[in-house]
Amino acid sequence: MSRTIVKVESLYKDIEGRKILKNVSFEVTEREIFSIIGGSGSGKTSITKHIIGLWKPTSGRVLVFGKEVSKLSLQELDELRKNIGYVFQEGALFDSLKVWENVGFYFLEHTNMSRREVRDIALEKLRLVDLDEDVLDLMPSELSGGMRKRVSIARAIATDPKLIIYDEPTSGLDPITSRVIDKLILQLRERTGTTAIVVTHDMISAFTISDRVLVLKKGETVAIGEPEEVLNSPDPFIQEFIGDMKDCLTKQGRGL
């Protein structure tokens, strides 16, 4: 049986009297690609903030690798975060650092490894995202949008995390580059066996790469299931949300 990597149980989050998340529950199992979709402000990022321990639930529980995140000590939280790679929406690369220094940032900051060793690790991670030594010494400003995403992903996997959270991995990219990043997310799962949670507005991405999809509306679960199940849900919100995309999201359309 597959191991549970993330378990969210009846998660509620209120901030200043506003209900941000209402009774959200789901499990993500090992090697799964699990997408969270929903309109702006529906609570997608709020869920990930609980997973990495930035927020504590108002009620309910969030367990990651079997441990309740809100009960971890600071040291345990550091250890947890080392095992979670986070790909930030805007890439969040340090503009004054070279590509290899960005990818190896964790090791430069937290270990005594030599720069040569860190550079070697960076190259190994860059190869996993189909980049090579040509980019090692480039500055982030010299990269295209798609390459920046790849470098951000290489940085997120630098410490060999068991879980990767992708925050809007295709935002700001043209449709062709978006599909390339989708393929990369799938390839990375094959290459590293990592579990992935993808927060996205991109329906094509969510319905093509995911094993399961969670649809949120104003902090509540509208649907959860395999892409086909969710696509065929009679729920009017889902039908409206998916809208015209449904035709191109048929099985043929999923042939990445």
- 62 forms beta bridges with 8
- 223 forms beta bridges with 215
From the list 22, 35, 38, 196, which residue makes contact with ligand ATP (rule: CB under 6 A)? Answer: 38
Cβ atoms of 95 and 154 within 8 Å: the answer is no
Q: Tell whether residue 171 is a contact of ligand ATP (CB under 6 A).
A: no
Q: Please, what is the minimum distance in Å from the beta carbon of residue 60 to ligand ATP?
A: 15
Q: Tell whether residue 73 is a contact of ligand ATP (CB under 6 A).
A: no
Place of tokens 């892409």: 227
**Helix (H/G/I), strand (E/B), else coil: 60:** strand
From the list 23, 25, 45, 58, which residue makes contact with ligand ATP (rule: CB under 6 A)? Answer: 45
Q: Which two tokens stand for residue 238?
A: 């889902």
Q: Please, what is the minimum distance in Å from the beta carbon of residue 100 to ligand ATP?
A: 30
Nearest residue (CB) to ligand ATP, 15 versus 256: 15
Q: Tell whether residue 17 is a contact of ligand ATP (CB under 6 A).
A: no
Q: Which two tokens stand for residue 176?
A: 């062709």
Nearest residue (CB) to ligand ATP, 39 versus 145: 39
Neighbours of 34 (CB within 10 A): 21
| Choices 26-34, 37-45, 95-103, 138-146; region in contact with ligand ATP by CB under 6 A | 37-45
Q: Tell whether residue 35 is a contact of ligand ATP (CB under 6 A).
A: no
> Nearest to residue 189, comparing CAs of 5, 7, 1?
5
Q: Tell whether residue 20 is a contact of ligand ATP (CB under 6 A).
A: yes
> Nearest to residue 11, comparing CAs of 83, 73, 63, 54?
63
**Which residues bind to ligand ATP, rule: CB under 6 A?**
15, 20, 38, 40-46
